[in-house]
Amino acid sequence: MRHSFHALLAALCLLANVAAAQAPASQQDVAVLRQSVQQFLRIQTTGLPGQINVSVGQIDTRTYLPACAAPEPFLPPGSRLWGKTTVGIRCSVPSPWTIYVPASVQVISEYLVTATPVAQGQMISGSEIAKVRGDLTALPPGIITDLSQAVGRTAAVSLAAGIPLRSDALRAQQAIQQGQTVRLVSSGPGFRVSAEARALNNAAEGQVAQARTASGQVVSGVARTGGVVEVTY
């Protein structure tokens, strides 16, 4: 009788161990995963201008994911930290798996718009532009946010009032025009030499300009406003 009892007890223990081995591992808390994506995007977007708003999409709770010791968020190839995006989360131990979570990053900041209609070729001054505040991620690329990037440049195309200013819609004002008489300036410690020459090409501020001196020598330098070409030897 005692032998039968011990045999029954051993069988019950064996069944319990088998059931425990076959029982599914604890399920991953999806709230923890969404929080890890939130923190990942907050860290990755540090340094972007303006106010950053991060929104993380839902994870389907019907998807069974074994609990992960250290979920690792990452940015999949082709994704970006701007506007609507996707963040991956991978797990290595105890069970490997990878999922992808939709997210959205807003960058709320000031940017420039035309305050009045601007004609093609018109130079931009402070009176033609205004600052507004909005989500930069909802705007086309190249939006100008700094006055210094617009004032003094000319419109490459005609712009209606209220149009966001883009860098490709403006061009730098010509500092040097072909055929213009320019002043070649070369300077260094203790000396400064200047001479007149004739410009051989158009050049905006900071671009390379070529000029021919009275002796016929062709010299290259950096165009500066006021008809100056800085020459370095």
Q: Could you write out the three-class secondary structure of the chain?
A: CHHHHHHHHHHHHHHHHHHHHHCCCCECCHHHHHHHHHHHHHHHCCCCCCEEEEEECCCCCCCCCECCCCCEEECCCCCCCCEEEEEEEEECCCCCEEEEEEEEEEEEEEEEEECCCECCCCECCHHHEEEEEEEHHHCCCCECCCHHHCCCCEECCCECCCCECEHHHEECCEEECCCCEEEEEEEECCEEEEEEEEECCCEECCCEEEEEECCCCEEEEEEECCCEEECCC
Q: Predicted confidence band at 88 (pLDDT cuts at 50, 70, 90)?
A: very high
22, pLDDT greater than 80: no
Q: Predicted confidence band at 25 (pLDDT cuts at 50, 70, 90)?
A: low
19, pLDDT greater than 80: no
Residue 96's pLDDT is what? Answer: 95
12, pLDDT greater than 80: no
7, pLDDT greater than 80: no
5, pLDDT greater than 50: no
pLDDT digits (tens, 9 = 90+) for 158-184: 999 999 999 999 988 788 889 999 999
